[in-house]
Amino acid sequence: MKNKIGVYICHCGGNISDYVDVEKVRDAVKDIEGVEISVDTMFACADSSQKQIFNDIKEKQLDGLVVASCSPKLHYPTFSAVAERAGLNKYNYVHANIREQVSWAHSDNKLGATEKAIQAVKAAIAGVKESISLEPIKIKSQKIVAVIGAGVAGMRAAKELADLGVKVYLIEREYFVGGRVAQLDYLCRVQETGKELVTRMYEAIHKHENITLFTGAEIIEKGGSIGNFKIKLKITPRYIKKDCNEDELKKAIEVCPVEVDDDFNFNITKRKAIYKNYPSEYPQKPAIDIKNCTRCGECEKVCSSIDFNQKEEILDLTVGSILTATGFDPYRPKENEFGWGLDNVVTLPQFRRIINMCDDKLIYNGKEIKEIAYIYCVGSRQVDGENKYCSRYCCTATLYTSILTHKKYKNIHAYHFNRGIRTYGKQEVIYDEVSQLGDIFLQSYEYDPATVEKQGDKTIVKVKDILTNNTEIEVEADLVVLVTGMEPRKDNSIGDVLKIPKGRDRFYNEIHMKLRPVETVIDGITIAGACQGPKNILESVNSALSAATKSYSIVNTGELALEPIIASVNEDTCTWCGLCADACPYDAIELINKNGKDIAEINKSVCKGCGMCLPVCESDSIEMSGFTNNIIENMISAYADI
Which C-beta is closer to another protein: that of 471 or that of 575? Answer: 471
**Smallest distance from another protein to CB 454, Å:** 17
Q: Which three-class secondary structure state does DSSP give residue 7?
A: strand
**Smallest distance from another protein to CB 170, Å:** 43
**Smallest distance from another protein to CB 364, Å:** 20
376 CB-near residues (< 8 Å, 6+ apart)? 394, 395, 398, 416, 417, 418, 419, 421, 483
By the rule CB under 8 A, 393 interacts with another protein: no
**Smallest distance from another protein to CB 480, Å:** 15
Which C-beta is closer to another protein: that of 421 or that of 545? Answer: 421
By the rule CB under 8 A, 438 interacts with another protein: yes
Contact segment (CB under 8 A) with another protein among 266-274, 302-310, 428-436, 571-579 equals 428-436
Which C-beta is closer to another protein: that of 71 or that of 468? Answer: 468
* Subset of residues 248 to 267 that bind another protein, contact rule: CB under 8 A: none
Contact segment (CB under 8 A) with another protein among 189-197, 439-447, 590-598, 608-616 equals 439-447
DSSP letters spanning 465-534: EGGGTTEEEEEEESEEEEEE-EEE-S--HHHHHHT--B-TTSSBPPSBTTTBTTB-SSTTEEE-GGGSS-
By the rule CB under 8 A, 451 interacts with another protein: no
Which C-beta is closer to another protein: that of 113 or that of 395? Answer: 395
CB of 221 closer than 8 Å to CB of 317: no
Helix (H) or strand (E) holding 56: helix 47-60
Which C-beta is closer to another protein: that of 472 or that of 559? Answer: 472
**Smallest distance from another protein to CB 560, Å:** 52
Contact segment (CB under 8 A) with another protein among 87-95, 273-281, 463-471, 611-619 equals 463-471
Helix (H) or strand (E) holding 247: helix 246-255
CB half-sphere exposure, 164, CA atoms < 13 A:
22
Measured in degrees and rounded to the nearest 5, phi and psi for residue 126 equal -60, -40
By the rule CB under 8 A, 443 interacts with another protein: yes
Buried b (16+ CB within 10 A) or exposed e, 89-112: bbbbbbbbbbbeebbbebeeeeee
Which C-beta is closer to another protein: that of 339 or that of 533? Answer: 339
**Smallest distance from another protein to CB 455, Å:** 12
437 CB-near residues (< 8 Å, 6+ apart)? 402, 403, 406
104 Cα distance to chain centroid: 40
Which residue from 19, 79, 328, 415 is in contact with another protein, where contact means CB under 8 A? 415
**Smallest distance from another protein to CB 448, Å:** 15
Which C-beta is closer to another protein: that of 300 or that of 474? Answer: 474
CB of 183 closer than 8 Å to CB of 347: no
Which C-beta is closer to another protein: that of 329 or that of 371? Answer: 371
- Calculate the alpha carbon distances from 438 to 20, 477, 482, 524 in Å: 73, 16, 20, 51
Which C-beta is closer to another protein: that of 258 or that of 421? Answer: 421
Which C-beta is closer to another protein: that of 413 or that of 608? Answer: 413
Instruction: Write each residue from 219 to 248 as x if it is in contact with another protein (CB under 8 A), else as -, in one continuous string.
Output: ------------------------------
Q: How far apart are CA 54 and CA 193, in angstroms?
A: 61
**What's the CA angle centered on 424, arms 418 and 429, to 5 degrees?**
90
Which C-beta is closer to another protein: that of 461 or that of 562? Answer: 461
Buried b (16+ CB within 10 A) or exposed e, 532-554: bbbbbbbbbbbbbbbbbbbbbeb
- Residue 589 exposed, middle or buried by CB count within 10 Å (0-12, 13-18, 19+): buried
574 CB-near residues (< 8 Å, 6+ apart)? 599, 600, 619, 621, 622
Which residue from 331, 431, 508, 552 is in contact with another protein, where contact means CB under 8 A? 431
Q: How far apart are CA 527 and CA 328, in angstroms?
A: 13
Which C-beta is closer to another protein: that of 443 or that of 532? Answer: 443
End-to-end CA gap in the chain: 19
Which residue from 84, 432, 446, 453 is in contact with another protein, where contact means CB under 8 A? 432
**# binding residues, another protein (CB under 8 A):** 23
By the rule CB under 8 A, 374 interacts with another protein: no
Strands 321-324 and 525-527, by their bridges, are: parallel
**Smallest distance from another protein to CB 478, Å:** 13
By the rule CB under 8 A, 421 interacts with another protein: yes
Helix (H) or strand (E) holding 461: strand 458-465
Instruction: Write each residue from 465 to 494 as x if it is in contact with another protein (CB under 8 A), else as -, in one continuous string.
Output: x-xxx-xxxxxx------------------
Which C-beta is closer to another protein: that of 410 or that of 490? Answer: 410
Which C-beta is closer to another protein: that of 172 or that of 439? Answer: 439
**Smallest distance from another protein to CB 440, Å:** 6
Contact segment (CB under 8 A) with another protein among 50-58, 430-438, 577-585, 624-632 equals 430-438
Nearest to residue 367, comparing CAs of 378, 358, 375, 376?
Answer: 358
DSSP letters spanning 554-623: HHTTSEEEE-S--EEE-TTT----SHHHHH-TT--EEEEEETTEEEEEE-TTT-----TTTTT-TT--EE
| Residue 385: Cβ within 10 Å count | 13
CB of 306 closer than 8 Å to CB of 287: no
Angle between helices 110-130 and 22-30 in degrees, nearest 10? 40
Contact segment (CB under 8 A) with another protein among 170-178, 248-256, 413-421, 505-513 equals 413-421
Helix (H) or strand (E) holding 355: helix 348-357
Which residue from 45, 204, 260, 440 is in contact with another protein, where contact means CB under 8 A? 440
**Smallest distance from another protein to CB 445, Å:** 14
Which residue from 413, 502, 506, 608 is in contact with another protein, where contact means CB under 8 A? 413
By the rule CB under 8 A, 137 interacts with another protein: no
Interface positions with another protein (CB under 8 A): 413, 415, 421, 431-432, 435-441, 443, 465, 467-469, 471-476
